[in-house]
Chains A and B, each alone.
Chain A
Amino acid sequence: MVEKEILNKHEIDNILVRLSFQIIEKIKDDADFALVGIKRRGAILADRIASTIEKFKSLKPMIGYLDITLYRDDLTEISEFPKLLGSDLNFDVKGKTIILIDDVIFTGRTVRAALDAIIDYGRPKKIIFVALIDRGHRELPIQPDFVGKYVPTNIEEKINVKLHEIDGLDSVTIEKRG
């Protein structure tokens, strides 16, 4: 196993600022929007993006967190028992522009589950998807609106997103087998 850093803390910070501005530009004057982070690391990224937006737009975005465990299409097949983290969306989704945020997009199945989960709360006006890393290998026709960094990967490789709040440091690494 060889682990190589592809983004350091400074680069992650810069990317998050850029993504925040892309979101601000996309929503324009639409004040009725909310950020929704996919647990666990997407939720942390959503928090960070929210504070950046607050700093530059002087408005505090609504924020929610999604646990997509119950919506996984492989829920009855996975051998590792998933712990429920619980969702936390304290606003009405109906009519809102939802900015969905996750750390990595890979097969697209997590995003599919998240879309279903959001729609079960109500009918949003629009959903925009933002990912820190796009590592390719989609199994569903789902594409992010904004990507922090596109990382071409081999299917056997692993992308590790480490965030200070959980892992004690900010870093994105790629792990190669061999």
Chain B
Amino acid sequence: MLNRKDLTGLVDVTKEEILEILDTAEKFKEINSREIKKVPALKGKTIVNLFFEPSTRTRTSFEIAGKRLSADVINFTASASSTTKGETLIDTVKNIESMGVDMFVVRHYYSGSVRFIAQNTKAHVINAGDGTNEHPTQSLLDLYTIKEHKGNLEGLKVAIIGDITHSRVARSNAWAMKKLGIDLRLYGPKTMIPRDYLPLGCKVCNSMEEALEDCDVVMMLRIQLERQGIALFPSLKEYSKLFGLNKNRLELTKKDAIIMHPGPINRGVELPSYLADCDRSVILTQVENGVAVRMAVMYLLAMQQNTKLGE
């Protein structure tokens, strides 16, 4: 059972906790298919989306998730805030907390900043992406989508291709998949494979073929052009040719392998349109499942308060 105030990453979350979140998400998915997509579970709770980095999909997904649980959701974006006036991060958090906030959903450009915030507030904190560290709810929605399509998780072969170093999605997935007994293979340009900080036992492949061979799931990562100070590969065209997915490469995988992408897609770079939109692509299902998974995380964390106080 989930026993924590915050979800800052999957590095310290147990297999049982992950499975409980996925189980709960399944119950919430049903709510999202109703005509009236709302339940009163978090009525009277206030959730603040604290985003220090631009985001539309993740922020909207968290906002919808909170609202479907009947919480009041407030969006706070850094550009319009006092952080630009010189206030420290913790002061900003403590000021908002003083207004009776129960939960923060935080995205920040520095790795570790979300954990730092969590340690300095009584409110629950959910990491919505911190630097290149973790993006736990994205990984959870990936796992949920994989489980939905494959029935189980253990023993599956998953390839994650692309910019591993800069990808917090890859890092969260690496921690989680390792715990769940998934055979994870990583591949990308040598300049984009981290030299440290990967869970023990993560396999870094030497070729696209090695990574894709007999895979159940192919996850293509986005080339994060905005995160690169220096050029890590010569041109987009070359990247696409060497590290992009195409029809021939897809044939190396299992016949029923699914294609995933955390979005937003650079069409024609890591993934051509004909594959992004084909029937093996589950990219929009990932987005759909994101709402249910975030509802589950919000619900399970908010319920914690009660059990903790009693103990």
Contacts and interface: CB of A to CB of B under 8 A. Distances in A.
Interface string A140-152: 0000000000000
B91 to A, nearest CB: 29
Given A71-B40, A116-B40, A81 B35 contact: no
Nearest to A78: B306
A161 to B, nearest CB: 24
Q: Is the interface of B mostly helix, strand, loop or mixed?
A: helix
B306 A121 contact: no
B307 interface: yes
Contact of A84 (B24, B35, B302): B24
Contacts of B45: 76
A91 B163 CA distance: 46
B27 A85 contact: yes
A70 B40 contact: yes
B24 A121 contact: no
Interface in B104-118: none
A139 interface: no
Contact of A121 (B35, B40, B302): B35
B36 A70 contact: no
A81 B39 contact: no
Contact of B39 (A70, A79, A85): A70
Interface string A44-80: 0000000000000000000000010011000111110
B307 A81 contact: yes
Contact of B36 (A79, A81, A88, A120): A120
A82 B41 CA distance: 12
A76 B303 CA distance: 7
A77 B44 CA distance: 13
Q: Is the interface of A mostly helix, strand, loop or mixed?
A: loop
B30 A88 contact: yes
A64 to B, nearest CB: 12
A120 to B, nearest CB: 5
B310 A79 contact: yes
Given A67-B27, A87-B30, A122 B41 contact: no
Contacts of B306: 76-79, 81
A86 interface: yes
Contacts of A82: 303
B216 to A, nearest CB: 26
A43 to B, nearest CB: 15
A116 B306 CA distance: 24
A35 B199 CA distance: 51
Interface string B18-40: 00000110110010001110111
Interface in B257-311: 299, 302-303, 305-307, 310
A67 B28 CA distance: 12
A89 B102 CA distance: 32
Contact of A81 (B1, B23, B27): B1
Contacts of A67: 27
A136 to B, nearest CB: 27
Given A76-B306, A120-B34, A84 B27 contact: yes
B39 A120 contact: yes
A77 B302 CA distance: 11
A120 B299 CA distance: 19
A81 B303 contact: yes
Nearest to A76: B306
Interface of A: 67, 70-71, 75-79, 81-82, 84-88, 116-117, 120-122
Given A76-B305, A117-B39, 19 more contacts: A67-B27, A70-B39, A70-B299, A71-B39, A75-B303, A76-B44, A76-B303, A77-B306, A79-B307, A79-B310, A82-B303, A84-B23, A84-B24, A87-B27, A87-B30, A88-B30, A120-B39, A121-B34, A121-B36
13 contacts: A70-B39, A71-B41, A75-B303, A76-B303, A76-B306, A79-B306, A81-B303, A81-B306, A86-B30, A116-B40, A117-B39, A120-B36, A121-B34
